[in-house]
A and B are shown apart, each in its own frame.
Chain A
Amino acid sequence: MQVISTIERVRLNYAASTIGFIVLYTFTVATFSAEFLKLWLHSIYFIVAEMIKLVIIQKYYGLDLSYSQEGVRKKRSNKVGDSIKFAVLMIMTIFFYAFICVIMGAPPLTHVEETLTLSSLLTALTIFPISLFIGVSGTLGILFTETFELVNVTSQEYLKLLQRNAYLVIFGAFIGSIAFPLDWDRPWQAYPIPNITGAITGQMLGCFYCFFETMVRYKLGKKYR
């Protein structure tokens, strides 16, 4: 019997739990009304979901988080300072996304709540899991240097996974706008809904892709071993 490697287990675990959370989310939205989407609740939902995922993965696999560049990561001496930095990064990201939304055509004076909803959701799905995983300085490293790597292979794999999902989320939100010009006059064509749907679909597709990729790799690995 072939043993699944840690990397593969992490990937499967991640994919399965993300899809689970998205399915749960879909059911919740379907049960409550569309009004649910307008609230901040769903960002909080995804924040909690990401936290739970990370806790599970860290607990089972205890991923190592050393950078390749700056040697061993500093010990967490200042928890308060770190959390403040973290909060500032998150708020900055939210405003950055909101700014991008405005540039892409969101009305800057009206629809502020919708824009912030969308940008906070994008933050919760992209930057938040990454900085939760590798900390604020690591996130900045990813954003502004081109060669950022973790020492541990499994951790690096997991980080790659998060990064790719972040790209897909942003791409999904981008593509979502295709619904706006259509003259179908459906209620779900209102401003942030197609983008939110697109973002979540993007993450979902990322997870499916990860799932199948892992399966294929596992099969191939068995053959070559």
Chain B
Amino acid sequence: MIIKSDNFYLVLIFTSVISSCVFCIGFFPYATFKELKQDENKFGNFSQINRTVLMIIDALRLDFMDSESFSYVHHLLETKEACLLKLFVSLPTVTKPRIKALTSGTIPSFLDVAMNFGNDEMKIDTFLHQLHRRKEKIVLAGDDTWRMFRFFDRDYANRDSLFVNDFYEGDKNVTTSLRLELKRNDWKLLILHYLGLDHIGHVEGPFSKLVPPKLKEMNDVIKLIHLKLLEWNKNSMKKSILIVTGDHGMRDTGGHSGNSFPETHIPLLMIGGSCESNRDKFYKQIDFAPTFSIMNGLPVPSSSIGSIIPEMLVNLSSLQKLSVLEAVNQRLVEMIKDSDEHEELKFLFRKAKTFHQMFIKDFTSKNAYERAESGYLESSKKISEILSQGSMDVNLLQVLLGLVLNILIAITILIPCDFATLKDVKLSFESFILFILCGIPLKFLILNEIFQEQNDFKSFFMLIIMSIALRIVIGILKAKLERFRGFKFFDNDLLYLLLLGHFFFAVSVGSSSFVEEEHQIWYYFCNTMFSLFAFFEIRGRKNPNATVSAISRCIPFLLLHVVIRRMNQTGDRWISLPDLSDWLHQDANQHWLHVSIVISLIASSAWLLRIHTSKHLIVPFVIVGNILLYFHHTRTINNRNDIPITTLFWINLCIIVTIDLVTNINKNPTKRLNFFVVFFLFSLLLHQPQNVIMPFACSVSCWFVNATCNNIIKNMNERIIAKIILHIWIGKLFYFYQGNSNSLSTIDVNAGFVGQMHVHLPIVFIFSTINTFNGQLISLFLLIIHLIEESKRLMNDSAIITRLFFKWLSILTIIPTTVFLIVITLLRHHLFIWSVFSPKLLYDFFASALMLLIMLIVKVAVKF
């Protein structure tokens, strides 16, 4: 195998992505669940439940329960026919992992957030499995995420249940299925999953005027079920119950998956059985599964680490209750490791057990009962806490392997070398074999001993991959060291400022505040640079007229940034402050939203026509495209899914592409510009209405930076480096301008569904990616265009420009990632590791992978 010296950086970023991947897999392990053999008798069979309706209302926030729309529920709560409990859910607050937690009583891997749409079978034991084993019938209606359970007897799951623009249809289907099932009596568990509320939240936010009617609808469904329950319970010893809960909450801006209070705190409503309300205490979501199993007389799910919600078990006698608590406690105690720090908990358990024995001897001793109960509850709660932390232990070996390789890559990439004489790296097959052969004893004899790893196929596969990657990196490192030359210093102070800024960004990830508020860094640095550049532009003019024209260009440009940085509040601390997009979306200000869309579209089309070289044919189509976009964005402000218009828009885009292919077939390739036009129009389509200005503003910023760099930096190498850094910065800047952040809840899922009737997951994925990383993509596109211009101007420096492009893009991606990996490894016991650092790690990994993809495309398709 030969690696050409031109491809070094590409190969390095590729290996970096691989090693980050290994790091991520190690960092978010699929928890190795400790399954306990269940002795069914241990829990006794106290089942007093006939059948259960489990009604999940997606994204049901705690404060929605206070809404006037839940009038029937309030009535039930007053007459004590229902009771309200509060649950605390763990991260990430996304449907699939939360359903897993709710049903199995354990905390699934954080990485489930990435697999949220996948449909692999649920392997962990749940109360559904338990029911299935008893040949009880389970029926599903609603979200097809539940299809990870493969044993529903009747399955009414909606086909496109994730389609966010559907507020009503899916829910109507669920209710229809519910009416059908209420007439049948053969099922034991009926699962209803209503997604309408979540969709309204994603599109409009929790304070939308569509929310109260939706809650009213849910209230009516609850009423419907409750009336039926009364009918059933009238002549039956065993009760039938309805349980209403959310899977996760909803943050004030509408999304979820983060860790704000409204996202992580949800209500749990139990209707029909006997229970007590508790409005002060928060139980954990994982406590539900064991409690529910016991209510149904089932064994606790085998990997459950939850405690018990005693309020739901009030109809058990004191003795039964204590024996249940003892059994649950017993299995929790068996699950924790033997160590001194846990001795206290075991002591607590034993003490409770003593009181339990006392109570068995003397049933009248109320004191003993109370002390036993509180002792059991306290110890189970504490053990559950420890176990839920323990289930998130990282796989240190993989983490360290990924980290070390990444550091090695970072060092390799930073070594300055004389590029012109760099030799290609020849790697023989034997050397790979040698590396793997050396790796095997190292890993299986030494490392596995130290880290207590298991020897399985996965770790063997990982070993081979890592050995190959290591061999490649070492080969490149050696080649670079052979041609080592000292550091060259830059002439221009500006470049040091830029590098210092990027270095500050790389280091700032050590502080959780700076990770949460990363946008502030880019806002600040980019605007500093813009002001400095504007100052240079104005100062550099010789005659007064030129000065005036420079001022008249720079001031509006700077003011534009002042306005659009306030378009979407993001981050964590100040996200709740009102911003321009809130203001524009108020009913009273709708006309301003229209005005802003019109202005943005006019600016965009003017911009597109200005940069485009072969005008005449494309002009009408660009204008038609923008008019269509106007209709798309204004007619569908509430519901961005207007099929006819988007279809026309696709046709329009196709025509532009066709014109492009026909007219440019023999000419010098100016195609990239036309691709840029198409991409630009496409991203206008995906953006939210208030963000339509962003692609234009991003292009203008890139153009401004490019022009100023041409004026003020004379040395070509330095100019190109400055341009690359600044374009990357602008990409980041606009990434945050459009409302993204390092929290997973700010991803705009709506963009994935624009112009589609049904859910096609790959398309949803591609659309969301293009929308989320729109700033980066546009700025990189423009960077390439600007570098091509540069090479045209300087004629023969194409090779140098290509090398600088790959080199600096890899440096700017890999160095911050490596620093972040080091930080996150050191801080893996930090309080905010799951809420702040983990989402950032996922974003970082995804961004590096995207960068690799872009670099591959550039390598293949672009010639500077």
Contacts and interface: CB of A to CB of B under 8 A. Distances in A.
Nearest to B518: A181
Contact of A174 (B520, B528, B565, B573): B528
Interface string A169-204: 000001001001111000000000000000000000
B562 A108 contact: yes
Nearest to A107: B566
A103 B573 contact: no
Contacts, number: 36
Given A144-B539, A181-B514, A105 B573 contact: no
A102 B511 contact: no
A100 B513 contact: no
**Max chain A Cβ within 10 angstroms of own Cβ: one of B520, B528, B562:** B562
A103 B562 contact: yes
Nearest to B561: A103
Contacts of A181: 513-514, 516-517, 520-521, 573
Interface in A90-146: 100, 102-105, 108, 144
B708 interface: no
B531 interface: yes
**Max chain B Cβ within 10 angstroms of own Cβ: one of A103, A177, A183:** A103
A105 B528 contact: no
A104 B524 contact: yes
B558 interface: yes
19 contacts: A103-B530, A103-B531, A103-B561, A103-B562, A104-B524, A104-B527, A104-B528, A105-B527, A144-B539, A174-B528, A177-B524, A181-B513, A181-B514, A181-B521, A181-B573, A182-B511, A182-B514, A183-B512, A183-B516
B523 interface: yes
Given A102-B562, A103-B562, A105-B565, A180 B527 contact: no
Which 10 A-B residue pairings sit nearest by Cβ, starting from the closest?
A: A181-B517, A183-B513, A182-B513, A181-B520, A103-B558, A181-B513, A103-B527, A104-B527, A103-B531, A181-B514
B240 to A, nearest CB: 48
Contacts of A182: 511, 513-514
Nearest to B534: A103
Interface residues of A, number: 13
Contacts of B573: 181, 183
Contact of A105 (B511, B516, B524, B530): B524
Interface in B519-540: 520-521, 523-524, 527-528, 530-531, 539
Contacts of A104: 524, 527-528, 531
A108 B565 CA distance: 12
Given A103-B562, A105-B565, 9 more contacts: A102-B562, A103-B527, A103-B561, A105-B523, A105-B527, A108-B562, A174-B528, A181-B520, A183-B573
Contacts of A174: 528
Interface in B531-565: 531, 539, 558, 561-562, 565
Contacts of B517: 181
Nearest to B530: A103
B520 A180 contact: yes
Contacts of B558: 103
A182 B515 CA distance: 10
Contacts of B562: 102-103, 108
A180 B521 CA distance: 11
Nearest to B538: A144
A182 B520 CA distance: 11
Nearest to B519: A181
Contacts of B524: 104-105, 177
Nearest to B515: A181
Nearest to A106: B562
Contact of B531 (A100, A108, A180): A100
**Max chain B Cβ within 10 angstroms of own Cβ: one of A105, A180, A181:** A181
A182 B512 CA distance: 8
A102 B517 CA distance: 19
Contacts of A177: 524
A182 B530 CA distance: 25
A182 B511 CA distance: 8
Contacts of B512: 183
Contacts of A103: 527, 530-531, 558, 561-562
